[in-house]
Amino acid sequence: MPVDIRIRFGRAIRRIREEQEINQEEAAERCGLHRTYYSGIERGVRNVSLLNIERVAKGLKTPLPELFGRL
């Protein structure tokens, strides 16, 4: 059975964040999201809206196509 899209998305943004050598709190701040909400995204427990996906991409300075290409 394929891994849930929420988990794959969370893993992708975690890899990007780790490549940038920032912690979750810094990433959340850059994205304009609460740190617990951001943590939930990385853990795959949040069903993220398109607006927040765009905020994450901008906050991590990663184009949307590249972000989704990592899934």
Residue 13 pLDDT: 97
DSSP state of 2: P
Residue 1 pLDDT: 79
Residue 63 pLDDT: 97
pLDDT per residue of the chain (71 residues) written in tens, 0 to 9: 788 999 999 999 999 999 999 999 999 999 999 999 999 999 999 999 999 999 999 999 999 999 999 98
Return the CATH number of the domain spanning residue range 5-66.
1.10.260.40
> Distance (Å, rounded) from C-alpha 29 to C-alpha 2?
31
pTM: 0.91
